[in-house]
Structure 1
Amino acid sequence: MKKLGLLTILTILLLGSCNRGHINETEVDYDRMMVRIAEIEIVPEFRDDYVAILKEEAEASVRLEPGVICIYPMFQQDNPNQIRLLEIYASEEAYQSHLQSPHFIHYKTSTKHMVKSLQLVDMEALDPETMPALFLKLGE
């Protein structure tokens, strides 16, 4: 039952935090796409506040920024203060634009004291052409 509840929550977050329409309606240059994992450790007493601000930022980024394909927040099951974000941007330019957005600036400035550590890990998709099918499948 616990796994089913977590799966439901993760599915809802993914549907709300990944721009299914954008990747399927727009020609994506996979060679320019930027994929990153943000590894964040939160100060335990700020976890609830941090999560609330992060969820607002992720939703606004996907909804308002065409170049933000996905911001998918997760936490480790055995350590909920360990947050991971899957971030997918159409390009480096889309990412740089995202960093200047009002919702990202609000997130960054209001959570700075809540973050113990942050590491950004750039990734390379092994099969990016399958991504549109993944997002379509979530809408079924």
Structure 2
Amino acid sequence: MYAVTVTFTLHPGTRAEFLPLMTENARLSLENEPGCLQFDVCCNDAADEVFLYEVYDSAEAFDAHLQSPHFKSFDAAVADMIAAKTVHTYAEVIQ
């Protein structure tokens, strides 16, 4: 299991345009990427922050996600809406 968290800080006034693009990216990831197990899009009361929680089979499945046409299209469409983006990745600890 490979977990990814992403926190977007959006430019003011862009959340209404950003969220439909983000949720479509999440939907397509779940539908078209066999290694994508979970893709949650979350918001808090701050209008400029969006948080993602994604789970993949492996780091390779996440890399495939980043190369997918729908992700590349999404990434290009929202680039000017993003003030900051923080990505963290976590591999499962197997004991």
Q: TM-score, normalised by structure 2?
A: 0.90
**1:73 matches 2:41:** yes
Give per-residue Cα distances to partners, 1:98-125, cap 9 Å, x unaligned.
1111110011000000001000122355
Higher relative contact order (CA 8 A, sep 6+): 2
- Give secondary structure in 2 for the equivalent of 1:105: helix
Runs of 4+ in 1 over 6 A off after TM superposition: none
Q: Are 2:82 and 1:115 aligned?
A: yes
**Structure (1 or 2) with the greater helix fraction:** 1
Aligned: 1:63 with 2:36: no
Q: Secondary structure at the match of 1:66?
A: coil
Length-normalised TM-score, structure 1: 0.63
The 5 A counterparts of 1:1-140 are 33-77=1-45, 79-123=46-90
Change in Cα spacing, 1:125 to 1:81, as seen in structure 2 (3 Å) is farther
SS at match of 1:80: coil
Aligned-partner Cα distance in 1 for 2:20–2:8: 15
Q: What SS does structure 1 have at the residue aligned with 2:52?
A: strand
RMSD of the TM alignment (CA)? 1.6
Comparing both structures, which one devotes a greater share of its residues to strand? 2
Task: Return 5+ residue gaps in structure 2 as ranges.
Answer: none
Indicate the structure (1 or 2) with the bigger Cα radius of gyration: 1
Identity %: 24
